[in-house]
Amino acid sequence: MNTLIKTVEVLGIIAFALTGISAARKKGMDIVGVYSVAMITAFGGGSLRDLILNRHPLFWIEHYEYAVLLLVMCLLASGVIAGQFKNSKMIMVVLVLDALGLGFFSASGASVADRLGCAAFVSALLGVTTAVFGGVMRDIICNEVPYVFQRTELYATCSFIGAWCYLAVARGAGNEILAVTACIVVTFTLRMFAIRYKIRLPI
Amino acid sequence: MNTLIKTVEVLGIIAFALTGISAARKKGMDIVGVYSVAMITAFGGGSLRDLILNRHPLFWIEHYEYAVLLLVMCLLASGVIAGQFKNSKMIMVVLVLDALGLGFFSASGASVADRLGCAAFVSALLGVTTAVFGGVMRDIICNEVPYVFQRTELYATCSFIGAWCYLAVARGAGNEILAVTACIVVTFTLRMFAIRYKIRLPI
Amino acid sequence: MNTLIKTVEVLGIIAFALTGISAARKKGMDIVGVYSVAMITAFGGGSLRDLILNRHPLFWIEHYEYAVLLLVMCLLASGVIAGQFKNSKMIMVVLVLDALGLGFFSASGASVADRLGCAAFVSALLGVTTAVFGGVMRDIICNEVPYVFQRTELYATCSFIGAWCYLAVARGAGNEILAVTACIVVTFTLRMFAIRYKIRLPI
């Protein structure tokens, strides 16, 4: 189960980075811009959470292999897979992986805040922050109003509900792995439904 | 007097949040966007100050009731008071409360920096940072050039002068409550004059 | 040699601030905006590095004289030298000083990260972060897609190569001053070549 969760994390990082690469390429950036936006999209949310909660060292500072992995991805994305970003199958794959990442990072943010003794509501907010603020920074750099704040298919809402599931299971059953799994399943399922049926918030 | 200052703080937070709500609604955001922008406008400046000065935990992490209060406000703002944001009386009320908040947060920022031993000029700058950077982040997220940096009615300038008043009274008379009051009164009065007589900086 | 490096640092800060002043004036900001953007351009990269690596106090908090120096510069820039920002000689002087600053801050970022035990690749990334993120924040505030991410003359690339030179010399020869000098010389020379011959990244 632990290996499965680790796999979800890596897939999530890759998906977040891919959305960054895609956004940066649409703005005509060169590899420096593409790599920077990919890094910020993938690690921005987690870094913001760690700065807010005073946790050091940051994830990507300690595990440099992720920064290298993303550089390789960006180089590939400017070469062999460059033509794939408008391919509808590729778009669907990224959407699915992104939903997995959304679930994983919601759990990761809520878990860190919860263990530091934050109130449940704040822990849920930090779950959402971890999951969505990389994308917010990506959109700010690309000079767009952040996607996640616009009236579009549920995104942060799935993360918020998922984070509460994490907290309920972690506090209720005391089982971390079960809680993370519950959060990923709920977030992912909600997000897929929201995309499929174009569900938006009424207000 | 202490209760009065606490009241000013809460009114200031509410006013800052209202300017965030108003800006987010103008961009057509849903409740997720409205709430995020409200939170960032209200707590962004103070959080930035605390990150810069390495003070933990952040205010809104410790006092989760503010995050809940703002959520309730945002839900109300999307319902009962939604039509009021273009009401000129409402605009005037927000301007007045915002000026109170400007005064309070200028004092709060200068006070924290001063007690940590910063130079007076740096403490005054951090007073301004605390008071205005929530609004700067709000405008960046809404994809606008920050209001406070534009050639318009004095805003950061009132905060800067107010912060110096705080420092003068706090260091001169050694009375914290008197210093905060002086800062709020000076900042508020200057800001009201600037709005009433359309006073701008000459350069 | 130490004095020479200190001089390069101050020239770099001045150049970074000048690019901020110039960008803010183009957006029609008043002195509050001009000063804020100048400060953020000059100290944003270093502050971000220090927040990421948990180093306190921040440079400009401890050395308040730089904040005062930049205020004087901004006041001058709105008066006597205001007409000079479109002067092609002035533009060339700023480009040259900016390239010196790019070199110095690349070395400074890589050096701090290296001494804290970061992996070489992460240290190089933090060299680039220190050197270019002030400019990124400047462009975000001015509501532009960051210059450094666009397909234009090499900028971050020079910083990246310079940072690796720093690391090679610092780890190889163990001589800090030699390493900083190597980084500045390499970064500066590459940047000047890139401007002169309009060298861009192929991808």
Per residue in C122-167, pLDDT tens? 999 999 999 999 999 999 999 999 999 998 899 999 999 999 999 9
Which residue among A30, A58, A143 sits closest to C203, beta carbon to beta carbon?
Answer: A30
Q: Domain span at residue A11?
A: 2-196
How far is the alpha carbon of C143 from chain A, nearest alpha carbon, in Å? 7
- Contact present, C103 and C8 (Cβ < 8 Å): yes
Per residue in C27-46, pLDDT tens? 989 999 999 999 999 999 99
pLDDT band of residue C83 (cuts 50, 70, 90) is: low
Q: Which string of DSSP letters, residue by residue, matches B98-133?
A: HHHHHHHHHHHHHHHHHHTT--HHHHHHHHHHHHHH
Which residue among A56, A67, A141 sits closest to C54, beta carbon to beta carbon?
Answer: A56
Least confidently predicted of B65-69, C30-34, C85-89: C85-89
- The answer as to whether A26 is a domain residue is yes
Q: C-chain residues within 8 Å CB-CB of B140?
A: 140-141
Using DSSP's 3-state secondary structure scheme, residue A29 falls into: strand
A touches which chains (3+ CB pairs under 8 A)?
Answer: B, C
Per residue in B10-50, pLDDT tens? 888 999 999 999 999 889 899 999 999 999 999 999 999 99
Q: How far is CA A116 from CA A123, A128, A130, B149, C30, in A?
A: 9, 17, 15, 38, 43
Over 80: is that where the pLDDT of A82 sits? no
Per residue in B134-183, pLDDT tens? 999 999 999 999 999 998 899 999 999 999 999 999 999 989 999 999 99
Whether A89 has its CB under 8 Å from any CB of chain C: the answer is: no
Q: How far is CA C136 from CA B131, C83, C139, in A?
A: 23, 25, 5
What amino acid is encoded at A127 in this protein?
Answer: G
Residue C39 neighbours by CB under 8 Å, 6+ apart = C17, C20, C60, C67, C70
- The answer as to whether A22 is a domain residue is yes
Confidence (pTM): 0.94
A200 with B31: Cβ contact below 8 A: no
- The answer as to whether A202 is a domain residue is no
CA distance A26 to A168: 40
Averaged over B78-89, what is the pLDDT? 72
Which residues are A29's β-sheet partners? C150
- Contact present, B151 and B201 (Cβ < 8 Å): yes
**pLDDT given for residue C82 in this prediction:** 63
Over 90: is that where the pLDDT of A94 sits? no
- The answer as to whether A201 is a domain residue is no
Over 80: is that where the pLDDT of C192 sits? yes
The total number of structural domains that make up chain B: 1
Q: Residues of chain C with pLDDT > 90: what percent?
A: 77
Q: A-chain residues within 8 Å CB-CB of C136?
A: 141
- The answer as to whether C181 is a domain residue is yes
B141 with A143: Cβ contact below 8 A: no
Complex ipTM value: 0.91
Q: Residues of chain B with pLDDT > 90: what percent?
A: 77
- The answer as to whether C202 is a domain residue is no
CA distance A32 to C155: 9
- The answer as to whether B203 is a domain residue is no
Residue of A nearest to C151 (CA): A30
Please give the structure tokens belonging to residue B155. 């805003």
Exposed (0-12), middle (13-18) or buried (19+): which is B52, by Cβ within 10 Å? buried
pLDDT band of residue A24 (cuts 50, 70, 90) is: very high
C67 with B118: Cβ contact below 8 A: no
- Surface of C (102-161) touching B: CB under 8 A: 140-143
**pLDDT given for residue C1 in this prediction:** 65
**pLDDT given for residue A165 in this prediction:** 97
Average pLDDT, chain C: 92
CA distance A105 to A98: 10
**pLDDT given for residue C71 in this prediction:** 95
- Surface of B (8-27) touching A: CB under 8 A: 24, 27
Secondary structure percentages of chain C, helix, strand, coil, to 5: 80, 0, 20
- The answer as to whether C201 is a domain residue is no
- Kindly report the backbone phi and psi dihedral angles of residue C29, in degrees, each rounded to the nearest multiple of 5, phi listed first: -70, 155
Q: Say how many CA atoms lie within 13 Å of B61 toward its Cβ.
A: 26
CA distance C67 to C43: 10
Considering only residues C86 and B202, tell me which one the structure prediction assigns the higher pLDDT: B202
